[in-house]
A = this chain, B = another copy of it.
Amino acid sequence: MSKSDDSRRNFVKILGIIGAGAAVGCITNENSDKTGSNIDVPSRIAGSHYMGDFSTPPLETVRCAFIGVGERGSGHVSQFAKIDGVEIVAICDLYEDLTKKSEQECKEVKDGIHKNIALYYGDTDLWKKMLKEVKPDAVIIATPWNLHAPMAIRAMEEGAHAFVEVPIATTIDDMWKTVNTYEKTGKHCMMMENVNYGRDELLYLNMCRKGVIGELLHGEAAYIHELRWQMENEDRGTGSWRTPHYANRNGNLYPTHGLGPVAQYMNLARTEDNFSRLVSFSSPAKGRKLYAAKNYSNDHKWNQLDYGGGDINTSIIKTALGRTIMVQWDETSPRPYDRLNLIQGTKGILAGFPTRIALDGGVEGATENHHQWAKGDQLQAIYEKYEHPLYKRLGAIATKMGGHGGMDFMMRYRIIECLQNGTPLDQNLYEGCLWSAVGPLTEASVKEDGMPQDFPDFTRGDWKKTKPLAIIT
């Protein structure tokens, strides 16, 4: 669901797509492997600690800084500024106009709480200066994919909690570096998967926890969203920096929106089960090349790329318990939006797009059995019975505040609430890394014509200690 901002692309332009991690001087773990199929688990760095259920002392006011305030990041500023307990202390972007636009939004928040906002713009390295000078409690990062890890790492090293757009990183190596910094610094680092706060996702999480569909067996997750039009961002904006990814990488490049919720239904990396391995195939790469040929002149840069990333990638994840998750990604093909959002158990099935529920023997009040999807009033009754307490508490305000139907607001609200209460966040970094690891692992599997790739265990076996996500009330 993330959208990018104009400024992201320019970070890429200057730092370069590859190797940005090293460029900003993040911790290097010599034991980690650079390939996607890394199954060697590097040792935990001396003095570091497992962070599965990590929490920090309550923070009355959370001093927030932002790196990247374009199309996605500006939404973060705008809503965080309106949450009680937040003080906006700094905004950093390449562009003066974007920086000042976000500053203005903050100033318009009632009571004028955000009085002293330090602004940084005009140079690619100013975010580092900002971290040093402002010493924020939390940094919200919405920059191009390859910058997520190095920026999160530096933020933690400078004493801030890091909140990062999806995916957390694009290489297994960068994920290990992020985990190592997390465990060494004892700072929060959360990949902000907003879809886990969707109404249906919360409903299904609640139903799974209550055992409504029995033992969980299989899930399906996708990000199917036709975004060819983003190529109109030729020099600035999402398409400008994402298009080269689509051309140069072949796999599932954007797996977390569909997968995050399904992983939490299954309690993956939380006591019960964990990611084990995956297999992946991509379809031929046709759509982007055809689109470029149709919409741009022969000598346009979009017609100079060799589009190597298959239009649709299909993968299957196997978990430690032997459960399966079918995962798909397609931002190219002309078809309606879909995240699948399917979870199947021994007593029923919950699915999305549209919302579909069938329970063993049938749902309450239905004459049909599980051979039929629940309809109208029956679905309504399920919402009433199993609506997630968090949605009951925040659904109305979240819907009003908006952001992908309210899920964005609910995520931002929960981040601040957890920091204020000193409770663990709803998503730990190990989850963010495991969900994101589908990117490089599918690339490796596709490259090896479907060979299974093992997930690195970023928890180093400690996932068994991490409590299932609580049903937050």
Chain A residues in the interface with B (C-beta under 8 A): 214-215, 217-218, 226, 277-284, 286-287, 290, 310-312, 314-316, 318, 321-324, 326, 328, 333-337, 344-349, 358-361, 370-373, 449-452
* Smallest CB separation, A367 vs chain B (Å): 15
Pick the contact of A452 from B310, B324, B334, B450 — CB < 8 Å?
A: B450
Q: What 8 A-B pairs have minimum CB-CB distances, sorted nearest first?
A: A334-B360, A334-B370, A279-B279, A450-B452, A335-B349, A217-B283, A218-B283, A279-B450
**Bound CA span A186–B311, Å:** 42
List the B side residues contacting A349 at CB < 8 Å.
333-335
Assess A316 versus B284: contact at CB under 8 Å? Given A348-B335, A358-B336, A370-B335: no
* Smallest CB separation, A325 vs chain B (Å): 9
Contact (Cβ within 8 A) B347 A334: yes
List the B side residues contacting A290 at CB < 8 Å.
346
List the B side residues contacting A360 at CB < 8 Å.
334
List the B side residues contacting A214 at CB < 8 Å.
286
**Bound CA span A226–B348, Å:** 11
List the B side residues contacting A370 at CB < 8 Å.
226, 334-336
**Bound CA span A344–B348, Å:** 28
Contact (Cβ within 8 A) A318 B449: yes
List the B side residues contacting A359 at CB < 8 Å.
334
* Smallest CB separation, A16 vs chain B (Å): 30
List the B side residues contacting A321 at CB < 8 Å.
284
Most buried by B among A279, A280, A322, A328: A279
**Bound CA span A451–B215, Å:** 26
Contact (Cβ within 8 A) B312 A217: yes
Closest to A452 in B: B450
* Smallest CB separation, A344 vs chain B (Å): 6
Given A215-B286, A217-B312, 13 further pairs, Cβ under 8 A: A218-B283, A283-B323, A287-B346, A310-B324, A312-B344, A314-B316, A316-B316, A334-B346, A334-B347, A334-B361, A335-B349, A336-B370, A451-B452
